[in-house]
Structure 1
Amino acid sequence: MIIDGHQHFWDPARADYPWMEADELGPIRRAFGPADLAPLMKANGIDASILVQCRSALEETEQFLHIAHENPFVVGVVGWADLADGALDETLDRLRALPGGGRLVGIRHQVHDEADPDWLLREDVQRGLTAVFTRDLAYDLLVRTRELPAAISTAQAFPQARFVLDHAAKPPIADGASAEWTDGIAALAACGNVWCKISGLATEAVWNDWDADRLFPFVEHAARCFGEDRLIYGSDWPVCLLAGGYGEIKSALEACLARLGPRVRDKAFGVNAKAAYRLG
């Protein structure tokens, strides 16, 4: 099974997406749903996908589980739930009891939008993570370089848990290499319980001036740190459309991974996502 490990659906006419307000995001400020993605997946040889949260709302998680129930190609949902909510245990149990609830595989919060770079280390957040891991769910780390120290400490605090780093922590591709990002990625990978998504990289480059060669040093570093068993391919569609089409993104990342060897490429396109998210 070839898996797109990171994609989204949204409809700005029906809900608010604060991160989408910037003028340069106008091209993706419209509805995207399963009917839009399915033909792109088929044309590019992708069998299944992981649907990932876009906003901090339980209603979206419920909607995504319904979409997964109605669309077999969505084999996993990384939803949102309030980690600081004292009733999180009951919330997670309720979500898992919904139609499609069996496809809830992880929880995510937009940590890099929090004012506090140590948000993950708050006592109430750590208590919420305990509830997530007690239910054998993964936690997706949506962080940039600024939040990597807190992410490292969190991964160390839960050595038996499964974490998935989204977008390789959004490396500063447009600005060039960063020793802080390079060292942070290496330290996070050393925890041993973190997988890394090779996703969202083209949109961290200059949108109209990038190619596989430009992305490769960052993919190579992630591969060197995480190894062939902990890299996951993701399109980050439809955010990726800001920099390139679904097929263009897939081809570029596949080329990067192939340069690292067929085992790296093949595992990143399915086996590793199944392991990270415990897909049946």
Structure 2
Amino acid sequence: MIIDGHQHFWDPARADYPWMEADELAPIRRAFGPGDLAPLLKANGIDASILVQCRSALEETEEFLRIADATPSVIGVVGWADLTDGALDETLHRLRASPGGDKLVGIRHQVHDESDPDWLLREDVQRGLTAVFARDLAYDLLVRTRELPSAIATAQAFPQARFVLDHAGKPPIADGGSDEWADRIKALAACGNVWCKISGLATEAAWGDWDAERLFPFVQHVATCFGEDRLIFGSDWPVSLLAGSYGEIKGALEACLMKLGPQVREKAFGVNAMAAYRLAVAS
């Protein structure tokens, strides 16, 4: 099974997405749903996808689970829930019991938008993560270089939990990269309980001036750090449309992974996502 480990749906006419207000994001400020993605998956040989949180609202998580329940190709949902809520365990229980609840595989929060770089280390947040892991859910780390130290400390604090780093920690590709990002990625990878998504890289580059060759050093670095068993392909569609079509993004990442070996590509396009999110999928 070929899996897109990271994609989104949204509708700005029905909900607010604060991160989408910048002028340069106007091309994607419209509704995207299962009907838009289905032909792209088919055209690119993708069998299934993981639907990932876009806003800090429990209503979105509930909607995504309903979509997953009605959409066979959506085999997992990484939703949002308030980690600081003392009743989080009850919320997660209700989500799991709702239509599509069996497809809830993880929780995510836009940590890189928090003013505090150590937000993950807050006592109430750590208590919330304990509740997430008690439900055997993964936690997606949406962080940049600034927040990587707190992500490292959190992964170390929960050695039996499963973490997934989104977008390879958003390396500053457009600026040529940084040693600080590279060193912190290496330290995070040393925590054996963290997987890394090869996703969102083209949009960290200059949108109109990138190719697989420019992305490859960053893919190579995370592959060296995480190894072939902890890399996950993700399109980051439709955010990725800012930099290229679904096919262009998929083709570039596939070319990068193939340079590292066909087995690296094969695992990143399927089995690693199944392991990270403990997906129970029929062949």
User: After superposition, where does 1:251-266 map in structure 2 within 5 Å?
Assistant: 251-266=251-266
The match for 1:247 is: 247
| 1:24-59 CA-partner distances (Å, limit 9, x unpaired) | 000000000000000000000000000000000000
User: After superposition, where does 1:261-272 map in structure 2 within 5 Å?
Assistant: 261-272=261-272
Letter in 1 for 2:131: A
Question: Could you tell me how far apart the structure 2 residues matched to 1:176 and 1:212 are?
Answer: 14
The match for 2:89 is: 89
The alpha carbon displacement at 1:177 in A equals: 1.9
The alpha carbon displacement at 1:142 in A equals: 0.1
The match for 2:100 is: 100
Q: How many residues align?
A: 280
The match for 1:237 is: 237
The match for 1:72 is: 72
Question: Could you tell me how far apart the structure 2 residues matched to 1:6 and 1:67 are?
Answer: 15
Letter in 1 for 2:36: D
| 1:127-172 CA-partner distances (Å, limit 9, x unpaired) | 0000000010000000000000000000000000000000000000
The match for 2:136 is: 136
The match for 2:174 is: 174
Q: Secondary structure at the match of 2:200?
A: coil
Query: Share of identical aligned residues, percent?
Result: 85
The match for 2:118 is: 118
Question: Could you tell me how far apart the structure 2 residues matched to 1:175 and 1:271 are?
Answer: 33
The match for 1:3 is: 3
Q: Secondary structure at the match of 1:264?
A: helix
User: After superposition, where does 1:152-163 map in structure 2 within 5 Å?
Assistant: 152-163=152-163
| 1:108-144 CA-partner distances (Å, limit 9, x unpaired) | 0000000000000000000000000001000000000
Question: Could you tell me how far apart the structure 2 residues matched to 1:176 and 1:251 are?
Answer: 22
The match for 1:277 is: 277
Question: Could you tell me how far apart the structure 2 residues matched to 1:99 and 1:6 are?
Answer: 21
Question: Could you tell me how far apart the structure 1 residues matched to 2:134 and 2:229 are?
Answer: 24
| 1:207-234 CA-partner distances (Å, limit 9, x unpaired) | 0000000000000000000000000000
The match for 1:209 is: 209
Q: Over aligned residue pairs, what C-alpha RMSD do you find? A: 0.2
| 1:51-74 CA-partner distances (Å, limit 9, x unpaired) | 000000000000000000000000
Letter in 2 for 1:55: R
Question: Could you tell me how far apart the structure 1 residues matched to 2:247 and 2:64 are?
Answer: 24
| 1:222-263 CA-partner distances (Å, limit 9, x unpaired) | 000000000000000000000000000000000000000011
Letter in 1 for 2:196: C
Q: Secondary structure at the match of 1:276?
A: helix
Gaps of 5+ in 2: none
Question: Could you tell me how far apart the structure 1 residues matched to 2:270 and 2:257 are?
Answer: 13
Letter in 2 for 1:192: G
Question: Could you tell me how far apart the structure 1 residues matched to 2:89 and 2:100 are?
Answer: 18
Letter in 1 for 2:31: A
Moved over 4 A (4+): none
